[in-house]
Structure 1
Amino acid sequence: MFSHLAAVTVSLAVVTAAPAGAAPRLVPAADREVVFTADGTTTYGTLHVPAHRAGHRLRAALVLPGSGPTDRDGNQPGALPNTLAQVAGVLGGDRVATLRFDKYGTGRTGLGAYRDHPEALDYPAFVRQARAAYEVLRDQPETDPHALMVLGHSEGAMTALLLGGTVHPRPIGVALLQPQAIRLLDLVALQLHAQTAEAVRQGQFTPERQWVIDAAIDAAVTALRAHRPVGTTDLPPAVAQLFTAFQGPSGRFVDSDDAVYPPSAAAALRPGTGVLLTCGTNDTQVPCATTDALTSALRRAHVGGPGRVRLSGVDHLLHDADHPDTPAPAVLDALHRFAGSE
């Protein structure tokens, strides 16, 4: 009896086996929800797996959002540019799997463990959350742990830079899209000075008033870094409110974020790591000039290309005048150069 069953089993195996030389089964593209824990907070994300041959391990990229309440898709309340979802789609077209997630204070994740004390949330907590996400991406059955990348937009680019020099295994590529490339408060001061100059151009302030406001902005930055009370008397109401928040509920985060000087972090990248750094000529939040020191630091770190790419007419959300709702062609070209194809 047993020999008869064995014969049947062998016969079935012969019948159902794939013909020699048959192409492997193609697995269609799919998104799936990924849930992981970081510092006691349940974090929710989306893993996009492009179409691939069954059993084939894919290159994969962690996609990190910018500052503020920016969720996994790159959206904020009342602003839905879908920046990160679109970037993930571009990478998927190059057969790169992606993981993007709702960071603290956004989407399904919310404040998590910081719900009852949001003032304790600092920038290193966001970096640890991103590191946990990288490890989740590394361990997915479809991804190649030796072909991982990290891509970040704005503040997320600074986080990507920090991860690039500290995670294991080290990523083969790091993409810094319109990155926060100088200290946070220096960037804020630069933005505020530009806004004040524009207000003078429009006749809202006199040049004399501009001088007073600019001096007050610089004094506020100095006070914040010295952990002294900020004087807001000479600041416009909106700017005064901003600095009041910086020394109030957001103080811990601002102080810890401002402590990071991105060019210094570049030295930890592995030589030869493929790095893309983009800056848009119409980006008022991160002007190209702010990326000069980081670009030089990356060169000294002996990383690979594509290097810095200036995006003509492109704004902070990766759009240009002809493409107000989707990444500009120059952005698509830069991403394709970074990701390549198999």
Structure 2
Amino acid sequence: MNTRFLLFSLLFLTSSILLAQAEEEIEIKTETGMLKGTLLVPEGQGEFPVVLIIAGSGPTDRNGNNAMMTNNSLKMLAEGFLENGIASLRFDKRGVGASAGAMTAEEDLRFETYIEDAQAWSTQLKADPRFDELIIMGHSEGSLLGMIAANSAKADKFISVAGVGRPAADILREQLSPQPPAVTAMTDPIITTLEQGQTVDSINPMLNSLFRPSVQPYLISWFKYNPTEEIAKLNCPVLVLQGTTDIQVKVKDAEMLVNANPEAEKVILEGMNHVLKEAPIDRMENIESYNNPSLPLMDGLIPAIVSFINMK
């Protein structure tokens, strides 16, 4: 047998065994069902810092994947933390994966529902004697959820990864702006009405995927939060991470967050996209990485986060 291949196989096997030993499946009870996640804890005695990893928008599972893409970005983050002596918890959002049974009816779902989930996980981690420091990290939409939860949970540190700096209503307007004027003429008044906290009764059927009556209460609850206002409330150390080839969130968003919290540390990674992989700015090539679980995380990402977590 090839000696190099044998050595690689042994290293892979050893790594897999250690990872399996470090994994714990944990859960919390909510009014609508159980939320479930994976806790990774380094070997050894003593207390460890622990990172609560909050996924972004949509039906995203604990590994950063959904039905349309598999990139394992959040799983890779957790494993990278483990290799550096840092514990982590990542979880399936309600309605997704092993947390599917905890989903509420769509008309009852609010942005605060996800905030409360993050707060509940934070409470559980802070009560665990193995951990001496709680770091909340949110990716994409999870950044806004995370900064609100970090404030209420009195987290020791907060990390925003590819987090937006503008209210969701502004982002939605921007995303719809390339549409024909006839479309934006219908959507702009709806967004404005929802921003004012009011629902819209008459919706053109072609807009149901965005503004159907059952989802409007959620949009109203989401639109009222401004990321720059929320991050300004944090008194703990803050790290804002952003990639230059992210086609969903821009470097200007990171700058807005840092300007709102001048004590925050900013790290811009050249060539990192929204799923934390190295990718070109070309849209089609960039999106290919969204469904490539073998592609490693961007060089420098884990070291930047570990350095921040270990900062005293």
Is the Cα–Cα contact under 8 Å of residues 115 and 149 in structure 2 kept in the other structure? yes
Deviation at 1:64, TM superposition (A): 0.5
Q: What TM-score results when the alignment is normalised by the length of structure 1?
A: 0.74
Would you say 1:188 and 2:172 are equivalent positions?
yes
Would you say 1:63 and 2:19 are equivalent positions?
no
- Relative to structure 1, the CA distance from residue 231 to residue 107 in structure 2 (aligned partners, 3 Å threshold; closer, same or farther) is closer
Would you say 1:173 and 2:181 are equivalent positions?
no
Deviation at 1:111, TM superposition (A): 4.4
- Relative to structure 1, the CA distance from residue 214 to residue 331 in structure 2 (aligned partners, 3 Å threshold; closer, same or farther) is farther
C-alpha separation in 2, matches of 1:289 and 1:216: 28
Within a 5 Å distance, the mapping from 1:137-216 to structure 2 comes to: 137-144=125-132, 147-167=133-153, 170-193=154-177, 196=178, 210-216=180-186
C-alpha separation in 2, matches of 1:280 and 1:212: 34
C-alpha separation in 2, matches of 1:172 and 1:44: 23
Would you say 1:133 and 2:121 are equivalent positions?
yes
- Relative to structure 1, the CA distance from residue 111 to residue 230 in structure 2 (aligned partners, 3 Å threshold; closer, same or farther) is farther
Show the counterpart of 1:73. 63
Show the counterpart of 1:30. 22
Is the Cα–Cα contact under 8 Å of residues 64 and 74 in structure 2 kept in the other structure? yes
The DSSP-based 3-state class of the residue aligned with 1:100 is strand
Show the counterpart of 2:241. 278
Q: What TM-score results when the alignment is normalised by the length of structure 2?
A: 0.81
Is the Cα–Cα contact under 8 Å of residues 203 and 212 in structure 2 kept in the other structure? no
C-alpha separation in 2, matches of 1:223 and 1:111: 32
- Relative to structure 1, the CA distance from residue 241 to residue 320 in structure 2 (aligned partners, 3 Å threshold; closer, same or farther) is farther
Is the Cα–Cα contact under 8 Å of residues 179 and 286 in structure 1 kept in the other structure? yes
- Relative to structure 1, the CA distance from residue 120 to residue 137 in structure 2 (aligned partners, 3 Å threshold; closer, same or farther) is same
Match of 1:334 among 298, 304, 308: 304
- Relative to structure 1, the CA distance from residue 341 to residue 274 in structure 2 (aligned partners, 3 Å threshold; closer, same or farther) is closer
C-alpha separation in 2, matches of 1:179 and 1:111: 28
C-alpha separation in 2, matches of 1:29 and 1:173: 27
C-alpha separation in 2, matches of 1:279 and 1:135: 28
Task: Write the deviation string for residues 59-114 of structure 1: whole angstroms up to 9, x where unpaired.
Answer: 11111110100011111113111111111112112211111111211111114262
C-alpha separation in 2, matches of 1:159 and 1:171: 13
Match of 1:315 among 259, 266, 273: 273
Q: Letter of the aligned partner of 1:178 in structure 2?
A: A
Is the Cα–Cα contact under 8 Å of residues 191 and 285 in structure 1 kept in the other structure? no
Is the Cα–Cα contact under 8 Å of residues 182 and 291 in structure 1 kept in the other structure? no
Would you say 1:49 and 2:38 are equivalent positions?
no
The DSSP-based 3-state class of the residue aligned with 2:306 is helix
Is the Cα–Cα contact under 8 Å of residues 61 and 93 in structure 2 kept in the other structure? yes
Deviation at 1:291, TM superposition (A): 3.4
What is the count of residue pairs matched by the alignment? 281
Is the Cα–Cα contact under 8 Å of residues 239 and 266 in structure 2 kept in the other structure? yes
- Which protein has the larger Cα radius of gyration, Structure 1 or Structure 2? 1
- Relative to structure 1, the CA distance from residue 341 to residue 259 in structure 2 (aligned partners, 3 Å threshold; closer, same or farther) is closer
Give the helix-richer structure, 1 or 2. 2
Q: Letter of the aligned partner of 2:163 in structure 1?
A: P
- Relative to structure 1, the CA distance from residue 242 to residue 308 in structure 2 (aligned partners, 3 Å threshold; closer, same or farther) is farther
The DSSP-based 3-state class of the residue aligned with 1:152 is strand
C-alpha separation in 1, matches of 2:53 and 2:121: 10
Deviation at 1:215, TM superposition (A): 4.6
Deviation at 1:118, TM superposition (A): 2.8
Question: Which region of structure 1 is more displaced relative to structure 2, 125-134 or 316-325?
Answer: 316-325
Q: Which runs of 5+ in 2 are unaligned?
A: 1-19, 281-285, 290-294
Q: Which runs of 5+ in 1 are unaligned?
A: 1-27, 197-208
Q: Letter of the aligned partner of 1:255 in structure 2?
A: I
Show the counterpart of 1:292. 255
C-alpha separation in 2, matches of 1:250 and 1:230: 14
- Relative to structure 1, the CA distance from residue 31 to residue 120 in structure 2 (aligned partners, 3 Å threshold; closer, same or farther) is same
Deviation at 1:124, TM superposition (A): 0.5
C-alpha separation in 2, matches of 1:318 and 1:285: 12
Is the Cα–Cα contact under 8 Å of residues 281 and 311 in structure 1 kept in the other structure? yes
Would you say 1:228 and 2:200 are equivalent positions?
yes
